[in-house]
């Protein structure tokens, strides 16, 4: 059951978790940034690095993978908490929304990458280009949806 643990696309998970938080912060933070935009960018880069260390540090242990995954989810909350001045229930809503968005996008990208890999395309550059294209398309669609349907929190 856990023989494919090393095939989990950690980079895709990392980009999706960080990207969904950043997308929501930019969407809802127009008037409620906790810090300046410059400091928010620096904070996001630091949290990206911390999330990367967390997601890449588990090795082959299922327990350590689950623990690091939960830590990265908590870091998503910290990212939103430190970036926006919002009420508690809005914070929890944005956190849940960011988590669901990130897991949806990661699952879609992983499915396409798995299909490409099982078809035996030998060159990894195609897999990388496919992943980047799908991530960009997914986040572009999420940005359009957020702009169209969101109301200021």
pTM for the whole thing?
0.76
Distance between CA 75 and CA 51 in Å, rounded? 7
pLDDT tens digits, one per residue of 20-67: 888 888 887 777 778 777 888 888 889 888 888 877 776 667 777 788
The pLDDT value recorded for residue 1 is: 44
Whether pLDDT at 121 is above 80 = no
pLDDT at 150: 66
Separation between Cα atoms, residue 19 and residue 98, nearest integer Å? 9
**Cα distance between residue 81 and residue 94, in whole Å:** 10
Q: For residue 84, list its beta bridge partners.
A: 33
Residue 74 has pLDDT above 70, yes or no: yes
- For residue 136, give every residue at least 6 positions away whose Cβ sits within 8 Å of its Cβ, in sequence order, or none: none
């Amino acid at each position: 059951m856990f023989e494919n643990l090393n095939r989990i696309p950690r980079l895709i998970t990392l980009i999706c978790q960080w990207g969904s938080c950043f997308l929501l912060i930019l969407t809802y933070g127009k008037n409620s940034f906790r810090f300046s935009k410059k400091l928010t960018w620096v904070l996001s880069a630091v949290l990206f690095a911390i999330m990367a260390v967390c997601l890449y540090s588990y090795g082959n242990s299922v327990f350590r993978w689950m623990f690091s995954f939960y830590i990265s989810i908590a870091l998503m909350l910290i990212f939103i908490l430190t970036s926006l001045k919002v009420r508690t229930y809005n914070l929890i809503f944005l956190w849940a929304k960011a988590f669901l968005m990130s897991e949806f996008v990661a699952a879609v990208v992983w499915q396409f990458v798995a299909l490409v890999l099982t078809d035996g395309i030998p060159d990894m550059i195609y897999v990388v280009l496919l992943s980047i294209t799908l991530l960009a398309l997914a986040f572009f669609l999420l940005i359009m949806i957020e702009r169209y349907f969101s109301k200021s929190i």
